[in-house]
Structure 1
Amino acid sequence: MNSNVVITPVIMAGGTGSRLWPLSRELYPKQFLNVTGDMSMLQQTAARLSNLEHSAPILICNEEHRFIAAEQMRLGGFSHSGIILEPVGRNTAPAIALAALQAIKNSNGEDDPLLLVLAADHVIENESAFVDSIKKAQKAACDGKLVTFGIVPSSPETGYGYIKAGIKSGDSFSVSEFVEKPDLETAKRYLETNEYYWNSGMFIFKASRYLEELAKFEPDILYVCKQAIATPLQDAEFIRIDAAVFDNCPNESIDYAVMEKTDSAMVVPMDAGWSDVGSFSALWDVSKKDNNQNVIKGDVITVDSTNNYIFSGNKLVSTVGIDNLVVIETKDAILVASKDKVQDVKSIVSKLHKAGRTEQKLHREVYRPWGKYDSIDCGARDQVKRITVKPGEKLSIQKHHHRSEHWVVVSGTARVLNGDRTIIVTENESTYIPLGTVHALENPGKIPLEMIEVQTGSYLGEDDIVRFEDRYGRS
C-alpha cells in the first residue's frame, strides 16, 4: 500500500491535568492552557501538523469541554472534521475506537483511514524531527502494523512507562515488551542498554487494523463503541454519542487493551524534545529560564532565589532566598511546593474533592461559549460577578427559583429580555431581574459587553437555572 496515503489525525483532548493544579482545573484542564507559549497546548498540537499532509483532524474531548475545544480551534484557524464528545471518561482504548469508527464513516467507505493518534497536552520542541518520525512510521502502518512512537530517553525518568525495542525492520522495531514506570536504578539500567524508549502514548495505524485487534482482544469495548456511535446526534460541529450505552464501556487504555497483546506492535524512535508536561517540574524543564534558573511567569520579583518555577496570575509575587520551589498564584488559590514533590500535587486535588470544594473543579474566572464571568465576591446571601459577553452572543432564556439579579452595564450595550419586555441597557445604566422572572442577556454590539451582576437570594448555585431556549444546546 502507498505509504504516502493521507493521514487522519486524532487529537485526544480529555483528561484533567490534576498535577498542574491550581493552573489546571477539572473544567479548564492543562490542554487548554497557554503554559508553554502563546498558544494553548491543544492549539500547538494542531499547529505542528502543518508540515504533514493530512486531512482535517478528529477531536475527542469531555462533553463539558466542548465549547472550549471548539473555540480554541476556531481562534487558531484550525479546521476539524468533528468533535466527538465523551459523556464519561473511559480511557484511551474506547476513545480511539470511537475515532476509528467515525473516520471510516467520514471516508464513506472509500478509504481505510490512517490514524495518527496524538494527545493534546504534549510538548514537542523539534517539530521537524516529529514529522520525520511520523513519515518513517507510515510504511509499517500502511502494511498493517500498529506503530507507537518511543521517545529516545534523555535521563533515567521514573515517571514514564518504557517500551523495549526488538528486531529492526526498516525504520521501525518490533516491540519486545511494554514495562511499567520503573524505580530509579531500573531506569538507569534501561538507559544504559539503548534498547528502551519512553512510552509516548502516540500511535499511527490503519483504522481497520486497530478495530480488528480490538475485536480480537477486547470485543466488549468494540461492541459498546459501535452501539454508542451508531446513531450519533450531530449538534453543529459536535458528535454526541449515546451516553447510556457508553456508560457501560470497559475502562481500558490502548496499551492494556491492544498494544501489549497484539503481535503487530512496532515502535519508531522519536527524538524531538518531547514532554507530556505531567508536573510542574516537567514544565520547568521545558520553559525558558533566567540567569538564576528561575522560570518566571507574570508579575514576579525575586531576590537570591534559584531553580524555581514562579507563576503570578494576578498579584505581585515576591520571593527571597528560596530554591527548588514551585510557587503558583491564581485568583482563588496559591500553591507552594518543593519541585521534587510536585507529583503529589494531585493529592491536594483529591482532598479538595473529598471536602466538596470547588477549587479543584473550576477557576474563579469561568469561560462559557458566550464569554466569561468572574466571581468577584460572595457572601451568605449575595454574590457579585463581572460578566463579559462577546459581540453577537446571547445567554440562554432562563429563570431562577432562588435568586434575583441586578445588572449594571460597565461598557458596551446589552439587549435584555426582562419578563414580557425587551430593553436596551447601555453604559452606567442598570436593570433589575426579580426572582422567578424569565430573562435573557444579549450583546447586539460590535465590542464586548462588560457588566456587573449582583445576585441576592437563599441559594446562589449555578444549578439554579431553568433554561427555556439556548443556542448552545444546553436547554
Structure 2
Amino acid sequence: MSKNVREPVAAQPGDTAAVAPGAPVRLRIAPVVLAGGAGTRLWPLSREHFPKQLIDLVGKDSLLQSTLLRMQGFSAGHEIEPSAIIVCGDEHRFITSEQLQASGMQGRLVVEPVRRNTAPALTLAASLALADGQDAILVVMPADHAIPDTCAFHQALSIAAAHASEGAIVTLGVPPTRPDTGYGYIKLGEMLPDGVRRMERFVEKPAIELAAQYVASGNYWWNSGIFVVRATVWMQAIEALHPAIHEMCVASVAEGKQEGQFFRPASRQFFLSPSDSIDYAVMERLDNPASPCRGVVVPLEAGWSDLGSWDAVWDAMDKDAEGNAGRGRVVFEGAHSSYVHSDGRLVACVGTSNIVVVETADAVLVVDRSHVQDVKDVVARMKILHAPEADTHRKVRRPWGFYDSIEHGDRFQVKRIVVQPGARLSLQLHHHRAEHWVVVSGTAMVTRGEEQFLLSENQSTFIPLGVLHRLENPGKLPLEIIEIQSGGYLGEDDIVRVDDTYGRCPGPQT
C-alpha cells in the first residue's frame, strides 16, 4: 500500500456510536465528484474519449469545472475539505487534471482501472475519505449537471448535511415541472421538518403515461443523483447491502498506490467488484431489514438539469423570442424551438421546428427533439460498425497538448500537432510509417536516433521508419507543427513506446 494512504477505517454494521441520532455532529464536508461517464446521448459533441463532463455545454466552464466551483462558499457550519475527491477513468485522467488546475480548485484524483458504475466509485471515495481515521460528510455529485441557482443549492445542502450528520443517507429530489421519461423518480414518504420527506422507494425511468401519473399525484420527485452521507454510514450500508462491492473496493484502496497526482486503486481487486449504481446497490434496499440506516429526500429547487440529452441542453439555454437556442456560428430564420451547436462552420436553420443540429469537425447530428433519447442507439450502431467517430473526435487531447487529423488518404495522413510549453511526447518508433515534421510556430527539440537538435519556424525534418524519435517543446510558447505521415499502415497503435514522461504504458497514445 502507498505510504500516503492508510487503510480506510470502515464502521461495522451495528456500530451505532458512529451514527446515533441526536444533536447534529460537526464533521468536515468532503465534496466527491463522480466523473467517469460517457454521455453517449450527447453525441457527437460528447464521445467515449472526451465525454460531456469535460465540455463547456452551457457556459464558459466545463461541466466538471462548474461542479467543483458550485461548492465555493458552502459550509453549513462545517469545515470544508479543500481538496475534492474526483473519481475518473484512466483515459480521462490528464484532461481532468488539466481542467482542475485551470479552475483554480484543489482535488484528489482517483483513477478507476475499469468502469464499475457509481456504487463502487463512491465506495472508493468513502474509503479514501476515511483513510485519516476521521469521519466526513460526503457531498456526492455527478460531474454533468447544470444548477444555475447556487444559493438554493447551498440551502438544500445545508438541510441535507444536518440529516446526514445524524446518520441518514440523503438524496436531493427535484420537484418535477413536467412528465419526463429521461429521469428516475423517488416516491415520497412521510413529511419531516424543513420540508424533508422520508424516502419510500426509487423508480426507474418510466413510460410517459406513468410519468404523467407521478407528476399529477404530487408524491414523486425527480432523482437528481446527488447524495449527502457520512462516509462511515455509506461504508456500513454498502457492506450490509452489497458486501462484495465493499470487500473489493476496500481491498483495492488498501493495496492502491499514489502516482504523482493520481491515486490508483489496485486493479486486480477492483476488477472483481460487481458493477452497480448507488440507486440499485443501496438506495432501493434501504427498507431491507439488514439496512443499518434510513433514507430521506431534501427538495432541490435550483433549476437543476442532468443535461442527459440535447433536449435538456436546449431547456437549460437562453432562448430567443421563437424559442431557439444556439452556440457558435448559428443563424435562425423562421425557425421555432430549435437548438443548434456549431463547432466551426456556419449553420443556418430556415423554417425548422423542434429540431437539434450539432456540427463538429467530423460529424453532424440532425434529430427531432422528441427523439433525442435515441441518439445513444445511433452511437451503439456506429460502434458495431467500428466507426471511429463513435469514440474519438478529430481533435484528440493528450497530456502534452493535442493533435488534429486534418487530412488523410490510403497511404498518408496530415496532422496538426500542438505541444504545450515544457511538454514532450514519448520516445517512440513506428514499424509501418515515416514522418515529416514542419514547424509552424515555436521551437522544437527533436530527438532522432542518436541526434538531438532544435528546429524553429519554417524549418523541417524527416523521421525514417523504425527510428527512435521524440518531439518536445523547450520554449515558453506553444509549439505547433504539421506532421505528414506516409506508409502502409497509419493507425495510432503502430507505436513502440520506450520512455514516457507521463507514465503511460505502450499502446495507442502518442
TM-score interval w.r.t. the shorter chain? over 0.9
Provide the rounded CA distance (Å) in 1 between the counterparts of 2:25 and 2:352: 53
Contact 2:41 2:372 in 1 (8 A): yes
Aligned residues: CA RMSD? 1.2
1:27-426 equivalence runs, <5 A: 27-53=49-75, 54-55=80-81, 56-80=83-107, 82-105=108-131, 108-109=132-133, 111-171=134-194, 172-263=196-287, 264-426=294-456
SS of the aligned residue for 2:87 comes to strand
Contact 1:399 1:466 in 2 (8 A): yes
Provide the rounded CA distance (Å) in 2 between the counterparts of 1:169 and 1:293: 39
Q: Residue 311 of structure 1: CA displacement? A: 1.2
Provide the rounded CA distance (Å) in 1 between the counterparts of 2:48 and 2:295: 33
Contact 1:382 1:456 in 2 (8 A): yes
Contact 1:11 1:58 in 2 (8 A): yes
Contact 1:92 1:253 in 2 (8 A): yes
Provide the rounded CA distance (Å) in 2 between the counterparts of 1:133 and 1:213: 23
Provide the rounded CA distance (Å) in 2 between the counterparts of 1:196 and 1:347: 28
Provide the rounded CA distance (Å) in 2 between the counterparts of 1:231 and 1:411: 46
Contact 1:383 1:456 in 2 (8 A): yes
SS of the aligned residue for 1:234 comes to strand
Provide the rounded CA distance (Å) in 1 between the counterparts of 2:87 and 2:143: 10
* Greater Cα offset, 298-307 or 412-421: 298-307
SS of the aligned residue for 1:293 comes to coil
Contact 2:24 2:166 in 1 (8 A): no
TM-score normalised by structure 2 residue count: 0.91
SS of the aligned residue for 1:123 comes to coil
Stretches of structure 2 that go unaligned for 5 or more consecutive residues are 1-22, 288-293, 506-510
Stretches of structure 1 that go unaligned for 5 or more consecutive residues are none
The CA deviation string for residues 112-148 of structure 1, in whole angstroms up to 9 with x for no partner, is 1111100000000111010000100112111111111
Q: Residue 180 of structure 1: CA displacement? A: 2.0
Equivalent position of 1:16 in the other structure? 38
Q: Residue 222 of structure 1: CA displacement? A: 0.7
Q: What amino acid maps onto 2:430 in structure 1? A: H
SS of the aligned residue for 1:432 comes to strand
Contact 1:300 1:312 in 2 (8 A): yes
The CA deviation string for residues 181-215 of structure 1, in whole angstroms up to 9 with x for no partner, is 22223222222332211011110111111111111
Q: Residue 456 of structure 1: CA displacement? A: 0.8
Percent identity, please: 47
Q: Residue 454 of structure 1: CA displacement? A: 0.4
Contact 1:9 1:116 in 2 (8 A): yes
Contact 1:367 1:373 in 2 (8 A): yes
Provide the rounded CA distance (Å) in 2 between the counterparts of 1:190 and 1:319: 36
Equivalent position of 2:469 in the other structure? 439
Provide the rounded CA distance (Å) in 2 between the counterparts of 1:319 and 1:396: 45
Q: Residue 32 of structure 1: CA displacement? A: 0.3
Equivalent position of 2:15 in the other structure? none
SS of the aligned residue for 2:116 comes to coil
Provide the rounded CA distance (Å) in 1 between the counterparts of 2:162 and 2:496: 54
Q: Residue 356 of structure 1: CA displacement? A: 0.8
The CA deviation string for residues 406-458 of structure 1, in whole angstroms up to 9 with x for no partner, is 00000110001111011100000001111111111111111111100001111
SS of the aligned residue for 1:260 comes to helix
Contact 1:42 1:121 in 2 (8 A): yes
Provide the rounded CA distance (Å) in 2 between the counterparts of 1:296 and 1:150: 29
Equivalent position of 2:13 in the other structure? none
Contact 1:301 1:318 in 2 (8 A): yes
SS of the aligned residue for 1:456 comes to strand
Equivalent position of 1:6 in the other structure? 28
Contact 1:3 1:138 in 2 (8 A): no
Provide the rounded CA distance (Å) in 2 between the counterparts of 1:300 and 1:166: 47
SS of the aligned residue for 1:392 comes to coil
The CA deviation string for residues 360-413 of structure 1, in whole angstroms up to 9 with x for no partner, is 111000111110000001111111000001111111111111111100000110
Q: Residue 227 of structure 1: CA displacement? A: 1.7
Q: What amino acid maps onto 2:213 in structure 1? A: R
Contact 2:29 2:138 in 1 (8 A): yes
Provide the rounded CA distance (Å) in 2 between the counterparts of 1:59 and 1:241: 13
Contact 1:310 1:326 in 2 (8 A): yes
Q: What amino acid maps onto 2:61 in structure 1? A: M
Structure 1: which 4+ aligned runs deviate by more than 6 Å? none
* Greater Cα offset, 345-354 or 256-265: 256-265
Provide the rounded CA distance (Å) in 1 between the counterparts of 2:54 and 2:193: 37
Provide the rounded CA distance (Å) in 2 between the counterparts of 1:366 and 1:180: 35
Contact 2:30 2:138 in 1 (8 A): yes
Q: Residue 3 of structure 1: CA displacement? A: 4.6
The CA deviation string for residues 317-342 of structure 1, in whole angstroms up to 9 with x for no partner, is 12221111111110000111101101
Q: How many residues align?
A: 471
Q: Residue 4 of structure 1: CA displacement? A: 4.4
Contact 2:27 2:135 in 1 (8 A): no
